[in-house]
């Protein structure tokens, strides 16, 4: 049987490994930052009804420009956004891929501040874009001065800022985003996949869009909306930037069923987001308990907690895995990341990790 080594793979892809986390049949999955709360029954019923209607006409292609979904997203986000400011795709990963297809590519570069979302370098590699990782501070903080200096030094074509940052949970102040935008002629993407989990003090970069034609804000329905299995990501920006997405998207890239599900879910956005407050409470509970156990807990605005002081991350990961609990080894020495679960899931995780050597 042939292997990758036997195929004429692109040279820049040789030796690369695909993105992925373990997909074990674990009892408790706290490794991929999912929303542990199922979709409320009344919302599920409306979604199923909408899907049933679409199935009867699935012999026809869907709305290529998914206008109703974009209008629904604009209403949800507010901030004066209209359908012309919105784009959507199959998850925010496809959104970011389309941004790189439009504004990156051979001879162009993508900069971000690491550790950060591990898909960024893979998306860069897949589009032939140079990847420029800039290290954060030892506590994963990033001063405006250091961020601006890095962008000035490297002059990237695209800068991606993940806030709250995955896997650290660190938010980036709007003043830093403003400063970064002002010192580059390239595209600035703010990845706000976890924005809905932010505290009252969290500020969205959506407020910065007016007058900034090269600023894009990416979001997803996978996390706070508990829609990970549906795959809807979306982008807000200047209409000209949205026009650029038309140049690189595949025709009919959003199925009629995906569009119908998203529109129905957005009709019930308040209900869909009702569990977010409970998840913030569980995040605080996890952080306090791990801190009391002697771990170094990093402040998080996401639906996850990164903690350090783990003497053997792989051993701790495997020990919990053996008890049916999946968390995430994100490759940061001495650290592990745990997603927020339900109250009972969090309780079991804290009980089991307390029994393990640090």
Residues 128, 228: one domain?
yes
Q: What is the pLDDT along the chain (358 residues), one digit of tens a residue?
A: 888 888 898 888 888 777 766 667 678 999 999 999 999 999 999 999 999 999 999 999 999 999 999 999 999 999 999 999 999 999 999 999 999 999 999 999 999 999 999 999 999 999 999 999 999 998 999 999 999 999 999 999 999 999 999 999 999 999 999 999 999 999 999 999 999 999 988 999 999 999 999 999 999 999 999 999 999 999 999 999 999 999 999 999 999 999 999 999 999 999 999 999 999 999 999 999 999 999 999 999 999 999 999 999 999 999 999 999 999 999 999 999 999 999 999 999 999 999 999 8
d(CA 283, CA 298): 11
The answer to whether position 220 is within a domain reads: yes
Which CATH number do you get for residue 291? 3.90.1150.10
Number of separate domains in the chain: 2
Please name which of 297, 329, 310, 279 lies closest in space to residue 118, comparing C-alpha atoms. 329
Residues 311, 294: one domain?
yes
End-to-end Cα distance, the chain? 44
The answer to whether position 7 is within a domain reads: no
Residues 95, 27: one domain?
no
Prediction pTM value: 0.95
Which CATH number do you get for residue 146? 3.40.640.10
C-beta separation of 157 from 186 below 8 A? yes
Count CA atoms within 13 Å of residue 134 on its CB side: 22
The answer to whether position 27 is within a domain reads: yes
> Where a domain ends, among 253, 271, 289?
271
Residues 248, 199: one domain?
yes
Residue for token digits 């407020």?
207
The answer to whether position 49 is within a domain reads: yes
The answer to whether position 5 is within a domain reads: no
Residues 263, 290: one domain?
no
Q: What domain range includes position 229?
A: 41-271
The answer to whether position 54 is within a domain reads: yes
> Where a domain ends, among 255, 271, 287?
271
Bridging pattern class, strands 233-237 and 86-89: antiparallel
The answer to whether position 334 is within a domain reads: yes
């Amino acid at each position: 049987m042939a292997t990758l080594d036997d195929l004429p793979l692109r040279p820049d892809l040789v030796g690369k490994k695909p993105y992925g986390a373990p997909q074990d049949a674990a009892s408790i999955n706290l490794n991929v930052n999912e929303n542990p709360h199922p979709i409320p029954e009344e919302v599920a019923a409306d979604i199923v009804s909408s899907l049933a209607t679409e199935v009867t006409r699935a012999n026809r292609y869907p709305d290529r420009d998914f206008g109703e979904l974009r209008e629904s997203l604009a209403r949800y986000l507010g901030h004066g956004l209209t359908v012309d400011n919105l784009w959507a795709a199959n998850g925010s990963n496809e959104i970011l891929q389309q941004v790189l297809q439009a504004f990156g590519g051979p001879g162009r570069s993508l900069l971000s501040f690491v550790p950060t979302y591990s898909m960024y370098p893979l998306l860069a590699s897949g589009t032939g874009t140079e990847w420029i990782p800039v290290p954060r501070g030892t506590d994963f903080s990033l001063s405006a001065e250091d961020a601006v200096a890095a962008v000035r030094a490297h002059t990237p074509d695209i800068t991606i800022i993940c806030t709250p940052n995955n896997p650290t949970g660190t938010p980036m102040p709007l003043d830093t985003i403003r400063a970064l935008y002002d010192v580059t002629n390239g595209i600035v993407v703010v990845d706000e996949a976890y924005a809905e989990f932010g505290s009252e003090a969290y500020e969205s970069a959506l407020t910065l869009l007016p007058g900034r034609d090269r600023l894009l804000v990416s979001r997803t329905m996978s996390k706070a909306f508990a829609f990970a299995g549906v795959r809807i990501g979306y982008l807000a920006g200047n209409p000209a930037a949205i026009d650029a997405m038309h140049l690189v998207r595949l025709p009919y890239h959003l199925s009629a069923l995906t569009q119908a599900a998203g529109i129905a879910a957005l009709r019930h956005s308040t209900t869909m987001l009702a569990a977010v407050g409970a998840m913030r409470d569980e995040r605080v509970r996890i952080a306090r308990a791990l801190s009391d156990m002697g771990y170094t807990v990093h402040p998080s605005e996401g639906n996850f907690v990164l903690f350090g002081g783990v003497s053997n991350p792989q051993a701790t990961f495997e020990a919990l895995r053996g008890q049916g609990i999946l968390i995430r080894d994100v490759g940061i020495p001495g650290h592990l990341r745990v997603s927020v679960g339900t109250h009972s899931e969090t309780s079991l995780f804290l009980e089991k990790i307390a029994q393990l050597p640090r």
